[in-house]
Amino acid sequence: MRLRYQTAVVSFCLDLTDPRGYSIPVGVLLVGQSEGLGVAAATALRTDRLVTSGFLDPISSEIIGDLLALLQAHVNEAIQANDGNVDVSDVLLSLRSSLRNSLYVSSISPEQCEEVADPIGAQTFATGSVLRVLRSAIITSSNQLRERAASMEEDEAPYLLEPPPGYLPTASWPVPPFGAGLRDSHPC
């Protein structure tokens, strides 16, 4: 079966009042659909290391700590609110519209396709994908911040987030089939 999917990277802005402020990627959501199958997966940074390093305050840590539950609730509500008449991109665009402050959608990937054997294969693929996308987003962000830090005073230099080692909190869940009868213009 062919799974059509997109991912969204969720970032966190550390200081909305600072014109030199920067953001870090903190989570990824994947939403996909296939013949009679809907799947979603999400991952988020663990915040314990970020709090102990002084990078995040406890309130920010709580916001990011609830990210998996927030993403799962958003997907389920977006699909149910429209009686399943939504497309993958509709779910991610509604997420972008609802997160607009410190926590926001920093990027949405183009629609992609992957051959999967069955629903379990779809969930396995989705889980692995969100982990890869988040690690890649962190590496890209850190590289950009390193370039920026080179021209800053030491006390202004941003905290450089490294790709987290080992386990990240991840959730993968089936969603009711959605998007039936909607556009099928992707060349999958």
| Global confidence as pTM | 0.83
User: Hey, where are the domains in the chain?
Assistant: 2-175
Angstrom CA distances, 62 to 12, 89, 182, stand at: 12, 28, 37
CA distances from 6 to 40, 92, 104, 109 (A): 10, 8, 17, 6
* pLDDT value for 106: 92
Q: What is the mean pLDDT of residues 77-104?
A: 86
* 26 close to 19: Cβ distance less than 8 angstroms: no
Tell me the C-alpha distance between 14 and 105, whole Å.
14
Across the range 75-95, mean pLDDT stands at 86
Written as six digits, the tokens of 125 are 């693929």
**pLDDT digits over 116-128, tens only?**
998 889 989 998 9
Please give the Cα distance from 186 to 112 (Å, whole number). 8
Backbone angles phi, psi at 11, to 5 degrees: -120, 165
pLDDT tens-digit readout, 5-52? 999 999 988 777 776 667 888 889 999 988 878 889 998 887 776 666
Tell me the backbone φ, ψ of residue 183, rounded to 5 degrees.
-55, 145
What mean pLDDT is predicted for residues 89-111? 90
